[in-house]
Structure 1
């Protein structure tokens, strides 16, 4: 499947691997993005809510001296409870980026006739939705003085390079890197930290490369079975080489994060250093030792598949269809938590077990 501009969740934090305070911050960004999409662009726009896009909001707030939160009304996804959510400009930037990139990915599915989009009626509806998302994202980007040109160009360039023969793996990941670099860099403008811009561009390129590669590794077996496009197959890259590129990206991302001038470093470090490392370990472990769960049903495709995928997006993964392997995993299995041995180092500077996740019976203020 082509058009890998932004994946929807290589960073998957949960209560098992984030300190209580950091998890609350993360949820404030997640709910803030969902509410911003709903309020500015309608309920359908909430389909583009994704974990990785939230990093734009997290980076903006981490560089800002002040934070802007408000109390949100009860929501079914929070057990009908209210919550403090972020309403800073970083959330709106995350919304704009998510809309534009989701639009590009949807258009690519339509062009390739993937799955339900092979049907004319579904493709026509998807095309109208993609156009609406692109206009909405461009409008929000303009209000934030963010030039959406690099993102729109990256979508077109991604489609172009995937149709060229003999492209190397890093040539195939370059459009994704450019798109994420532009989004990361603009967080410095919103936060009033222009000195961070160059470093954030570098960090964005590393994260974009990592996201693209992990998406390709996760989809490798399925793409081969379906005869669909995969950058690893197209470039003749084996898993060992892909892993080296991912490890290099993790190293570059870690160095870039260390050079940033941040007001709050905790959540940024947890997501862009620890969680990305966990994502690499998890993805390659699954790729090298695939286990077929007999409970997983075959994807029926068509409208049913499309509706179920939409439901999974709208519920931020709380609902997963019967053909999604994640449905049958516990939260601890999905986030690789193995108890206090896994979480004891989640806060540097704490002595012994820092007692900062759900498997410990107290809290941590780091």
Structure 2
């Protein structure tokens, strides 16, 4: 969130409020990689004011050259996407006045991205050239054309952006490995978009790289798995100051994205543990076939928090003795449920301020704590095969400890 908010605020600071609409998750990787190589200095963070997308809370956000490079890249690529939609006459852009306005906005973003890139020593022309070549490549592609021919412009653009983070961080020796990671990331992003959009493109009669080149989903999955492996190996050659977040996003989360796009299990731990059970990671039970007990035969052999909701009479293992008002004592009194109209009003407020999506919030009617809708699976936070929760070792020299953490075959992570 620090990098996502930093990208958003860098766009606003350099290019005005309207530019913030190009904020995207892929772009923040540029900021993450820059900081992972240079380290988190005090001046690399600042406190941002309340924002509806953070539930009107302040936050420590990233600032500096990494965030500004992410902003420049995001602007140029968003400009290219707008031009592509105009060319395809998508939706409202089929109307000439709206298309003309969109082209004007795209030209402005191109110039703004070029200015910011030049101030950071990055020539955005490589991005523009890659995007311009994409349309011609798609026109010539047909059945039998290798799909990697179609993904090449995206790979080239992403490689350039990733490699320049090494210059910003003062580690030019990292540039070749980061360019390689960028190429694989661009390939993966392009393929995943194609897989996710293939059905909708077929209905709409839109161009899709997999359909146009006759690439099967099996081959697309193989290419995605190769890209994941390539990213992991490339990051292993990068000298990081702190590789934790970069490793988490570019190894763990990317694998989850691939599994989700292809409709396979998103948690490598449970998928591996389910071998011999017909591939079902849960074997027909909500908690892995443990008879409905979420703790099963775990390290404590029972509910680790005892029998009562807050630890029971004697408390669970490692828990302090219970008592009235103390930790593990009686649960706090529940506030009464809201009425229908009051709950509707609260629900509208939560929705309009994005708290339902982005922050832990109180249920509009029940008043119970609810997790944000956008929470992702945290199944790879700990390594069940070695018992370690240390993922900070990440990929690459200088990435920090990893003490007590084995090579994790169950999730493919050398954490």
Name the TM-score class by shorter chain.
0.7 to 0.9
Tell me how large the CA RMSD over aligned residues is: 2.9
Task: Please say if residues 181 and 204 of structure 1, whose CA atoms lie closer than 8 Å, have aligned partners that are also in contact.
Answer: yes
The correspondence for 1:99, drawn from 41, 58, 75, is 75
**What is the aligned partner in structure 1 of residue 60 from structure 2?**
84
Which of 41, 51, 59 is 1:75 aligned to?
A: 51
Structure with greater proportional helix content: 1
Match of 1:62 among 36, 49, 52: 36
1:155 aligns with 2:192: no
The partner residue of 2:188 within 202, 210, 227 is 210
**Pair 1:129–1:172, CA change in 2 (3 A):** same
Report SS of the residue matched to 2:235. helix
Alignment of 1:1-366 (within 5 A): 27-67=1-41, 68-166=44-142, 167-285=145-263, 318=357, 337=377, 342-345=379-382, 351=387
Change in 2 beyond 3 A, CA 1:218/1:40? same
Q: SS of 2:128's equivalent? A: helix
Deviation digits for residues 307-365 of structure 1 (CA, Å, limit 9, x no counterpart): xxxxx9x979949xxxxxxxxxx97886663x7xx24526998x366899xxxxxxxx9
Of 223-232 and 117-126, more deviation after overlay is shown by: 117-126
**Distance in 2 between residues matched to 1:203 and 1:343, nearest whole Å:** 21
1:348–1:179 CA distance, 2 compared to 1 (3 A): farther
Query: Could you say if the C-alpha distance between residues 247 and 125 of structure 1 is closer, same or farther in structure 2, counting changes exceeding 3 Å?
Result: same
Which shifted more, 113-122 or 201-210?
113-122
8 Å Cα contact 2:55/2:354 also seen in 1: no
Judged with a 3 Å threshold, the aligned counterparts in structure 2 of structure 1 residues 212 and 196 are, in CA distance, closer, same or farther, namely same
* TM-score of the two chains, using structure 2 as the length reference: 0.66
For structure 2, the residue ranges without an aligned partner over 5 or more in a row are 266-350, 359-369, 393-400, 403-415
Determine the C-alpha separation between the residues in 1 that align with 2:89 and 2:103. Answer: 12
Bigger Rg, which one: 2
Task: Provide the C-alpha distance between the structure 1 equivalents of 2:380 and 2:188, rounded to a whole number of angstroms.
Answer: 24
Could you state the TM-score of these two structures normalised by the residue count of structure 1?
0.74
Q: Which runs of 5+ in 1 are unaligned?
A: 1-26, 288-311, 320-329, 357-364
